[in-house]
Amino acid sequence: MTTVTTGPAAHGGAGPTTVLRCTDVTRTFGRGTGEVHALRGVSLAVAAGELVVVRGPSGSGKTTLLNVLGGLDVPTSGRVRLGERELTTADPDEVLAARRDEVGYVFQSFGLVPVLSAAENVEVPLRLRRTPAGERAARVAEALDRVGLAGHADQRPDELSGGQQQRVGIARALVARPRVLLADEPTGQLDSATGRRVMDLLRELVHDDGVAAVVTTHDPELVARADRVLDLHDGLLRDGATPAA
Ligand SMILES: Nc1ncnc2c1ncn2[C@@H]1O[C@H](COP(=O)(O)OP(=O)(O)OP(=O)(O)O)[C@@H](O)[C@H]1O
């Protein structure tokens, strides 16, 4: 098994700003002749305020990696550390708490609840954290304002464009001030100009908030906006080309 260590871990171990780390992670699906090695020894450390883009062809393991990093899936072997929590040895309640408290997720298909307004969608993570109602309203208004949707709070997803829906998705991901942001092909359903604007926004917010972000993509436009690019091929992670800008 080949293990490629990338990021702060490759340069002297745990830096004080590393908030997300996985070490020698494998994930195997199925058994026997049907076995699929989706991740084959992946190590990665992401610092606060760093935007890491993971690119790779379909089936290379991108979604599996995000699921493992975010505590949505359990690796077959290896370790995942999210903030102060070691997910791979934590009990299920603690993993749930880590997901709720530490991670914001952005989905390719936005993942908004169709019957809720933009503001109500953004409010969901705050309700899960039992944030008091008055504080919720202020935080939701601020989050919508930051993504340029202050005037769209009462609209439902089907009354918004794709780019606006993804801005709502980003506001929802960041409203509870997570330390980690995970985004799976966040511009996959957007035209290229809209995708660029959404990615610029994501980059700005990640840097402003000091969030450790991992974004998967096929899109070269996203790659150019990364602080660091990693290539995933057949479940193996390698340093990619340094982004142009
Ligand atoms: N639940 C599962 N059961 C069996 N095999 C799976 C499962 N999830 C993923 N795989 C397999 O693991 C490999 C990696 O899949 P993954 O979805 O992580 O790739 P991906 O890079 O995200 O692909 P895409 O870009 O098409 O979304 C693939 O061969 C896939 O078929």
Condensed to tens digits (0 to 9), the pLDDT of residues 212-242 reads 999 998 888 788 899 999 999 999 998 876 5
DSSP string, 218-230: S-HHHHTT-SEEE
Tens-digit pLDDT profile for residues 27-47: 999 988 899 999 999 999 999
Provide mean pLDDT across the span 182-205.
92
Tens-digit pLDDT profile for residues 74-105: 999 999 999 889 998 999 999 999 999 999 99
Specify the pLDDT at position 4. 45
Residue 12 has pLDDT above 80, yes or no: no
Report CA(230)–ligand 1 centroid distance (Å). 18
Pick the range with the lowest mean pLDDT from 4-18, 45-59, 88-102, 134-148: 4-18
Residue 9 has pLDDT above 60, yes or no: no
Residue 15 has pLDDT above 60, yes or no: no
Report CA(62)–ligand 1 centroid distance (Å). 8
Please state, for a pLDDT cut of 90, what percent of the chain lies above it: 79
**C-beta neighbour count of 231 within 10 angstroms:** 19
Mean pLDDT of the chain: 90
Place of tokens 């001030």: 177
Provide mean pLDDT across the span 143-147.
95
pTM score: 0.90
Residue 25 has pLDDT above 70, yes or no: yes
Residue 50 has pLDDT above 90, yes or no: yes
Overall CATH class of domain 4-239: alpha beta
217, 187 contact by CB (below 8 A) = yes
Q: Which ipTM score applies to this complex?
A: 0.97
pLDDT confidence bin for 243, thresholds 50/70/90:
low
- Based on C-alpha coordinates, what's the Rg of the chain? 18
Query: Which atom in ligand 1 lies closest to the alpha carbon of residue 216?
Result: 22
Residue 16 has pLDDT above 60, yes or no: no
67 ligand 1 Cβ < 6 A: no
Mutate to test the pocket of ligand 1, among 27, 55, 60 (most ligand atoms within 8 A of CB): 60
DSSP string, 134-182: HHHHHHHHHHHHHTT-GGGTT--GGGS-HHHHHHHHHHHHHTT--SEEE
Pick the range with the lowest mean pLDDT from 7-11, 66-70, 182-186, 193-197: 7-11
